[in-house]
């Protein structure tokens, strides 16, 4: 399950920050996950429990912000929602666009610690 590897690097980054701030405990971690990032929130939650065990982040709340996928149509000068895939078709003018503006996010958005 590749969610474990993703979560390991996320928690590595969290623990590095926690140490840098001499934190005693991490309370909440917010991840931004794009709809096309290719990871399952359930998989991430499971991985989170496993990876944080015995660390400063054990028992912390994991919040996942889902980012919808959107592509940009140059002809319409507008964003439109994307269901999946790498090429999207503009619902207004039917032009094809590979200009994905959001949906691949896989990032640490916020960490709360004391």
In the complex, the residues that contact Zn ion under the rule CB under 5 A are 73, 75-76, 90, 92-93, 95
State the nearest-atom distance from the C-beta of 73 to Zn ion, in Å.
3
Q: How far is CA 6 from CA 2, 3, 38, 55, 68, in A?
A: 6, 5, 11, 17, 20
Kindly report the number of other CB atoms within 10 A of residue 95's CB atom.
12
User: Between 11 and 90, whose beta carbon lies closer to Zn ion?
Assistant: 90
Neighbours of 13 (CB within 10 A): 14
Closest separation in Å from C-beta 84 to Zn ion: 18
**Closest distance of CB 74 from Zn ion, Å:** 8
* Of residues 61 and 95, the one with the C-beta less far from Zn ion: 95
């Amino acid at each position: 399950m590749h969610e474990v590897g993703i979560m390991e690097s996320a928690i590595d980054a969290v623990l590095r920050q926690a140490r840098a701030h001499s934190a005693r405990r991490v309370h909440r971690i917010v991840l931004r996950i794009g709809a096309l990032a290719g990871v399952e929130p359930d998989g991430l939650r499971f991985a989170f429990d496993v990876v944080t065990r015995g660390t400063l982040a054990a028992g912390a709340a994991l919040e996942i912000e889902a980012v919808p996928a959107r592509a940009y149509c140059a002809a319409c000068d507008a964003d439109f929602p994307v269901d999946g895939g790498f090429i999207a078709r503009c619902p207004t003018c039917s032009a094809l666009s590979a200009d994905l503006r959001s949906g691949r996010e896989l990032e640490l958005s916020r960490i709360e610690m004391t």
